[in-house]
Structures are given as C-alpha cells and as structure tokens.
Amino acid sequence: MTISLSLMVVVRSCFRELDWLERKENLLSMGAVGTGKTHMATALGVEACRRGKAVQFYRASDLVSVLQEKFAAGTLSRFREKLKKTDLLILDEVGYVPFSQTGSELLFNVIADCYEQQSVIVTSNLEFGQWTSVFGDTKLTSALVDRLVHHAHILSFTGESFRFKQAMDRIPV
C-alpha cells in the first residue's frame, strides 16, 4: 500500500514546518474509508503538541453532542471560549453521521469562531458537494465550507483502504 507522491510531499512539508499552523490555515483531508486521514490528523496533532501548541481532537459527531449538552446546560459560551484558546482544532470523521439542525448550527458557530483565528484539520469521506447531506441546510453548508476552504490546504487521500489491505494480507495463500 502506498500513498501518492504528491500527497506525501505535502504531508511531509506540513510536518516539517507547521507554518500553516502559524498562519492559521486549515488542512482538509478528504478521501475514501481507511485511506489514512485520521492517522495523519492524529500524527499532526501530536507533532503540534510536541511543539507546544494547544490541540483539541474531536470526532465531529462527539463535538456536536458536547455542544448540545453545553447549550442545554447554559454553559456553551464558556465552552466556546475554551475552544478558542486552542491553536488547532481537529474535527475527525465529518460525513459519516448527519447532524440535527441545532447540531449543525452549533458546529457552524465553532467553525466561524476558528476562521482566521485558529487552524482546523477536518477529515471527511465526502466531497464538499455532498456536505449538505450532513449539515442539512444548503446556505449554512456553503457558508461553512467557504470559511474552511478560504485559507486551506486540501489533501486528497486515494487508493484502497489500509484496513482492507491489511485484512487481505492476513489471509493465508
């Protein structure tokens, strides 16, 4: 199993300098299941921590649940202030679980808070054109994507699933 040369070059440069983080740019990792998006996001998060950056990692659906809980408890503002103190917010697995209208709006506000203030890494199995199926509202989805892509590096993960490949390799011939 290999990753494409162009992706490897971009990923290596993202690790070496972390200058995208200093510039508050985003990394948007798109691709099919099992192609290494979470693996790379985790590694970049660890590297950013190692260099003294504040990082928070959430599966997107988990963050939405937390936001809804904080909203219901009246502590959402405090939680958003805490999120604003991070240098890098990692949102993993946007695309597998659709959000309720309230959930989408709450997540939109977090992304809007990050815009030009903090870096965001998003991993998704869906192309942007399909994000309405996750966020529901077309206008909200385009405003959200617009903010994410404005200062972003888009990493395209291709090939077959590492999981599938590893499972196949275990089958005796």
Ligand X SMILES: Nc1ncnc2c1ncn2[C@@H]1O[C@H](COP(=O)(O)OP(=O)(O)OP(=O)(O)O)[C@@H](O)[C@H]1O
Residues that bind Mg ion (CB under 5 A): 38
Query: In whole angstroms, how close is the CB of 62 to ligand X at the nearest point?
Result: 13
Nearer to ligand X among residue 39 and residue 80 (C-beta): 39
Query: In whole angstroms, how close is the CB of 70 to ligand X at the nearest point?
Result: 25
Name the strand (E) or helix (H) holding 50. Answer: helix 37-50
Nearer to ligand X among residue 84 and residue 163 (C-beta): 163
Name the closest residue to Mg ion (Cβ): 38
Q: Please measure the distance between the N-terminal and C-terminal CA atoms of the chain and give it in whole angstroms.
A: 18
Q: Are 148 and 119 in contact (CB under 8 A)?
A: no
Query: In whole angstroms, how close is the CB of 99 to Mg ion at the nearest point?
Result: 17
User: Which of Mg ion, ligand X, none binds 147 (CB below 5-8 Å, type-dependent)?
Assistant: none
Q: Are 47 and 77 in contact (CB under 8 A)?
A: no
Question: If you search the block for the tokens 């903090």, which residue do you land on?
Answer: 118
Q: Are 144 and 135 in contact (CB under 8 A)?
A: yes
**Residues lying near ligand X in the complex (CB under 6 A):** 3, 31, 33-39, 93, 123, 125, 157, 162-163
Nearer to ligand X among residue 79 and residue 162 (C-beta): 162
Going by C-alpha positions, the residue among 124, 173, 167 that lies closest to residue 1 is 167
Spatial separation of the C-alpha atoms in residues 152 and 173, rounded to whole Å: 44
User: Which of ligand X, Mg ion, none binds 35 (CB below 5-8 Å, type-dependent)?
Assistant: ligand X
Nearer to Mg ion among residue 38 and residue 109 (C-beta): 38
